[in-house]
Structure 1
Amino acid sequence: MTDRPTPAPRICPNCDGFASAAITLGGRNARGRLRTITAHCPACHGTGTVPARVREGARA
């Protein structure tokens, strides 16, 4: 009996797997570093993947 391979994670269609991005706010802080914020994809909450949907009547 052979083992079934694990399915590949589904990539989020909204962000194409790039779930987080650093965005510069312009200017620099007192230490001379760029001020940035991190923005996460609202669809996948920053994971880059989405869970597989379970269909009704599908076998487990």
Structure 2
Amino acid sequence: MPQHASNTPVCRDCDGFPVVAITTGTRNTDGTRATLTATCQTCKGTGRRTAPAVVRAGR
């Protein structure tokens, strides 16, 4: 079943998936996979795009 889109714009760099777990290929002593967590640097882990800041040009 499709989900409804929200009105808040999604980050274009992470496409709304701001935090991911990456497996390293090794295993911990208890047998689980060792993972690294990566966070989107553009949206700072929110998954949402913020409005651009107002920039004053000229004098």
- How far does the alpha carbon of each residue in 1:2-56 deviate from its partner, in whole angstroms, 9 at most, with x for none? xxxxx81110011111111100111100010000011011100111002223657
TM-score norm. by structure 1 comes to: 0.70
Q: Which runs of 5+ in 1 are unaligned?
A: 1-6
- Partner of 1:16 in structure 2? 15
- Is 1:32 the counterpart of 2:28? The answer is no
CA contact under 8 A between 1:10 and 1:52: conserved in structure 2?
Answer: no
Q: Which has the larger radius of gyration?
A: 1
Percentage of identical aligned residues:
42
- Partner of 1:44 in structure 2? 43
Relative to its length, the structure with more strand (as a share) is 1
Distance in 2, matches of 1:43 and 1:30, equals 35
- For the aligned residue pairs, the C-alpha RMSD in angstroms reads 1.9
Q: Which runs of 5+ in 2 are unaligned?
A: 1-5
Amino acid at match of 1:41: C
